[in-house]
Structure 1
Amino acid sequence: MPAEGPSNVEEIDYESMPVGSGLGINMMAGALAGISEHAVMFPVDSIKTRMQVFSTQPAAVYSSIGNAFIRISSTEGARALWRGVASVIAGAGPAHAVYFGSYEFVKELAGGNRPGHHPLATSIAGAAATISSDALMNPFDVIKQRMQLHGSPFRSGWVCAKTVYKNEGLGAFYISYPTTLTMTVPFTAVQFTTYEFLKDTFNPSGTYSPLTHVSAGGLAGGVAAAVTTPLDVAKTLLQTRGHSDDKEIRGARGMTDAFRIIWQRDGAKGFMRGVAPRVVTFMPSNALCWLSYEFFKRVIGGYERVKR
């Protein structure tokens, strides 16, 4: 049995690390977690984007995840499922650093690190995290979705960004930002509150437990993804409107227009377009994100403490 003492890394109170490990460690761990999450699940995210888009081209209409995967791979090649990954990775690192850094900082200020459950504190911290990170990530997300579309002419994120800016102006990168916030604030609040509750329920001792982080993160991501799918459909419509051959979609100016178009074209079921790949994306990606975040936070924090 190892001796107790300040130099023993194994005896670090893991769950108290958000307070003692510093903002820089939380941000670095968040950046690494975000890159891991987005890179691994990118092909499923590409399928989700295509399933959500309203298209008059039969070749661009997909009935299921399997149908989309087979048709895209056979007609465009498997590499098509990875188009835009460089853009999302470029944005995911800084955005997730801000995301987790803000979350841990605000959670501490709001009293979320005290013993017991504090859903209000974690919800406030989650909302603060997503407002700041989405402001940074939104342009990268627009580029990513434009490159993911069927028949997209873009093979370079830089070329895509220049073309969108030239044809549609700077506003094209942020037209979906209000809708994104309307979606991600409740998404993050649900995700963080569910995650913290499940983490404490599955692992009341608060010791480092990868299985707990995977299970709690996956379930929290799946619940939050399903609940916010209608807003994600509206976001996709707005972010890809410049690529549409439909005059009404191209003229959509915000969330109200997006909701009206979705309702007119597909009724209530239109708001759940892509829910299956969205949940399939977020359950494992959230599990991986939280596993990576907690792991990197522990490793980096432990290393820093050993140095001191």
Structure 2
Amino acid sequence: MQMSDVAKDLTAGTVGGVAQLVVGHPFDTIKVKLQSQPTPPPGQLPKYSGAIDAVKKTLAAEGAGGLYKGMGAPLATVAAFNALLFTVRGQMETVLRSAPGAPLTVNQQFIAGAGAGVAVSFLATPTELIKCRLQAQGAGAAVVAEAGAAGASATAAKAATSSVPVKYGGPMDVAKQVLKSEGGIRGLYKGLFPTLAREVPGNATMFGVYEAVKQYMAGGTDTSGLGRGSLMLAGGLAGGAFWASVYPTDVIKSVIQIDDYKNPKYNGSIDAFKKILKPEGVGGLYKGFGPAMGRSVPANAACFLAYEVARSYLG
């Protein structure tokens, strides 16, 4: 791949990533809140009964800004993340291509996506650790706000909500606290294994499905004539395929990354899998699946469309 093509992938990947983040982050916040809520004691209800309930309680306690909590960390790195994802994928396409300019098969796109997934895992792990910690810490305020609204005045409820301790002041504060008290750089890479287990097969599936849908709609390997609606449809289906194929690993990643460092509940990914599965069954591994799928379709439709349009514009 020529340097000019690398620059084009870097730029187009950045544009696609920003579009994906703006469209999808509120869904991601609700997903993490549902994933991170503890199993209620016998006879008690969970903090959130579902995605709609989590949205209502988040808006009541934190306002619309609560849905964009933790966005600073991915926004700061979205350029690097998507630029890396699409550039590594592009370079692998060059290696796999049988001749210059030849289209790749669906199987080759699976391989290219897997390679890109390995690369982005090392950037995604610290970014998502920061994001998850900020998203999860708002849960306590929502519960207090609900209790106040049920039996106290608005003033008392507000006072109760404000009394809930907030551990982190923002993305940089999360990074500083983790570096200081959780083993330095190693602490920021907590959850690397489940992140790899998500990104490698997930991106392989996503790029493979994206290419398969495009070729199906184009009636052949030449997909250059597809319109924007077709690209959005292919991108949306590809994003849905990503989450459908790897969602339990994302649940495990989230609970590990927000786990207490000094008194951990989980001793690694396998232990987390067992402890989630035992009391909650398979359903415990799919907490927040609805918001994740609700996010993936429009967010990835926006991402792939923005990438393709930007890439085409750049030549």
Superimposed CA distance per residue, residues 47-103 of structure 1 (whole angstroms, 9 cap, x where no aligned partner): 000101142678972222211111110122221111111111112110110110000
Q: Among residues 202, 211, 215, which one is paired with 1:200 in the alignment?
A: 215
* Structure 2 residue 202 is matched with structure 1 residue 219: no
| Cα distance in 1 between the residues matched to 2:211 and 2:2 | 16
* Structure 2 residue 91 is matched with structure 1 residue 105: yes
- AA paired with 1:28? T
Superimposed CA distance per residue, residues 149-170 of structure 1 (whole angstroms, 9 cap, x where no aligned partner): 1245323111111112222123
Q: TM-score, normalised by structure 2?
A: 0.82
* Structure 2 residue 215 is matched with structure 1 residue 229: no
Residue 139 of structure 1 and its aligned partner are, at CA, apart by 0.7
3-state SS in 1 of match to 2:267 = coil
Superimposed CA distance per residue, residues 110-160 of structure 1 (whole angstroms, 9 cap, x where no aligned partner): 127865661331111111111111212211111011000124532311111
- AA paired with 1:184? E
| Cα distance in 2 between the residues matched to 1:202 and 1:208 | 8
Task: Assess if the C-alpha contact under 8 Å between 1:234 and 1:259 holds in 2.
Answer: yes
Percent sequence identity is 29
Residue 255 of structure 1 and its aligned partner are, at CA, apart by 1.2
3-state SS in 2 of match to 1:292 = helix
Bigger drift between 141-150 and 197-206 goes to 197-206
Q: Among residues 163, 167, 190, which one is paired with 1:175 in the alignment?
A: 190
> For the aligned residues, what is the CA RMSD?
2.3
Q: Among residues 186, 192, 203, which one is paired with 2:201 in the alignment?
A: 186
Q: How does 1:206-285 map to 2 (within 5 A)?
A: 206-242=224-260, 247=263, 250-285=264-299
Superimposed CA distance per residue, residues 212-255 of structure 1 (whole angstroms, 9 cap, x where no aligned partner): 110001011112212211111101111111389xx5xx242321
3-state SS in 1 of match to 2:167 = coil
| Cα distance in 2 between the residues matched to 1:281 and 1:231 | 17
Partner of 2:20: 37
Q: TM-score, normalised by structure 1?
A: 0.84
- AA paired with 2:292? R
Partner of 2:162: none
Task: Assess if the C-alpha contact under 8 Å between 1:146 and 1:243 holds in 2.
Answer: no
Task: Assess if the C-alpha contact under 8 Å between 1:175 and 1:253 holds in 2.
Answer: no
CA separation of 1:59/1:26 partners in 2, compared to 1, >3 Å: closer, same or farther?
farther
| Cα distance in 1 between the residues matched to 2:122 and 2:90 | 18
- AA paired with 2:131? K
CA separation of 1:117/1:128 partners in 2, compared to 1, >3 Å: closer, same or farther?
closer
Bigger drift between 41-50 and 165-174 goes to 165-174
**Could you list the runs of 5+ residues in structure 2 that have no partner in the other structure?**
141-165
Partner of 1:297: 311
CA separation of 1:60/1:23 partners in 2, compared to 1, >3 Å: closer, same or farther?
farther
CA separation of 1:51/1:139 partners in 2, compared to 1, >3 Å: closer, same or farther?
same
**Could you list the runs of 5+ residues in structure 1 that have no partner in the other structure?**
1-17, 302-308
3-state SS in 1 of match to 2:49 = coil
Task: Assess if the C-alpha contact under 8 Å between 2:205 and 2:242 holds in 1.
Answer: yes
Q: Among residues 46, 50, 56, which one is paired with 2:33 in the alignment?
A: 50
Q: How does 1:139-178 map to 2 (within 5 A)?
A: 139-149=126-136, 150-151=139-140, 152-169=166-183, 170-178=185-193
* Structure 2 residue 138 is matched with structure 1 residue 124: no
| Cα distance in 1 between the residues matched to 2:4 and 2:304 | 17
| Cα distance in 1 between the residues matched to 2:39 and 2:280 | 13
- AA paired with 2:259? R
| Cα distance in 2 between the residues matched to 1:242 and 1:265 | 20
3-state SS in 2 of match to 1:63 = coil
| Cα distance in 2 between the residues matched to 1:116 and 1:22 | 16
Partner of 2:122: 135
